[in-house]
Amino acid sequence: MSHKRVAILISGGGSNMLSLVDSMIGGHAGRPCLVLSNDPEAGGLAKAAERGIKTASVDHRPFGKDRSAFEAELLKPLLASQPDIVCLAGFMRVLTGDFVSRFQGRILNIHPSLLPKYKGLNTHARAIEAGDSEHGCTVHEVTAALDDGPVLGQARVEVKAGDTPEELAARVLVQEHKLYPEVLRRYCMGNNDPVLLP
Ligand code: GRF
């Protein structure tokens, strides 16, 4: 059985990356082929290497505002890993339309809100400020528009009275670690039917 090759892009600790990697075992149709970061110090790189997964990093900082130049470098290890699917997992750089178009229809992202609500940053604080009773996370296909592509899965979390953004974020992250692996498992088998976790 030839597995789908899955490349995972991270910027930080990589807890979502680990939930994906640890799920791609046994009968799963995917296998990780690369963990790539825009930060050479990202904690997730060492965790991936411990699991025997190829890692690479391209520091975005020397490129300043020149996203195309940064992406040209980022594409070198990424294309060399020949991914069938690309997963953004806590990857905090906004990608250009040119970059995304190379992987159109096979690049996913997890976002910590119930899209289309709260695209962008500080999603937990914004949900609390708005007085929302529920919040959550979304896995979607990536398009040129930020946090905007077709939804492949959502998980809901109750917002509790007195919640701080940190407390809410921690409960959402637990759901992220369930939702993303389930969506990827199906996606690797060609099933894009949305997953809705309670
Ligand atoms: C997650 O909440 C993810 O949704 C967001 O960044 C956070 C990073 O988590 N984009 P990790 O790096 O996967 O632990």
CA–centroid distance, residue 1 to ligand 1 (Å) = 31
Q: Find the 38 Cα to ligand 1 centroid distance in Å.
A: 14
Q: Which residue is closest in CA terms to ligand 1's atom 1? A: 90
- Testing ligand 1's pocket by substitution, the residue of 39, 176, 178, 184 carrying the most ligand atoms inside 8 A of its CB is 176
Among 92, 80, 108, which Cα is nearest to 8's? 108
The pLDDT of residue 1: 67
Q: For ligand 1, atom 10, which residue shows the shortest CA distance?
A: 90
Give every strand in the sheet of 55-57, ordered side by side: 55-57, 30-37, 4-10, 85-88, 107-111, 134-141, 151-158, 195-197
Cα gap 70→66, rounded to integer Å: 6
CA of 92 to the centre of ligand 1 (A): 9
φ/ψ of residue 87, rounded to 5:
-115, 125
Query: Residue with the nearest Cα to atom 14 of ligand 1?
Result: 15
- 103-152 pLDDT, tens digit per residue, is 999 999 999 999 999 999 999 999 999 999 999 999 999 999 999 999 99
pLDDT in tens, the chain (198 residues): 689 999 999 999 999 999 999 999 999 999 999 999 999 999 999 999 999 999 999 999 999 999 999 999 999 999 999 999 999 999 999 999 999 999 999 999 999 999 999 999 999 999 999 999 999 999 999 999 999 999 999 999 999 999 999 999 999 999 999 999 999 999 999 999 999 997
Q: Token pair 């039917």 is at which residue?
A: 193
Residues having CB within 6 Å of any atom of ligand 1: 10, 12-17, 89-90, 110-112, 173, 176
Q: Find the 134 Cα to ligand 1 centroid distance in Å.
A: 19
> Which positions are catalytic?
111
- One-letter amino acid of 134: E
Between the CA of 121 and the centroid of ligand 1 the distance, in Å, is 11
pLDDT given for residue 198 in this prediction = 75
Report which ligand 1 atom has the smallest distance to the Cα of 16. 13
Question: Given the CA of residue 12, which atom of ligand 1 is nearest to it?
Answer: 12
Residue with tokens 């905007």: 148
Three-state secondary structure call for residue 157: strand
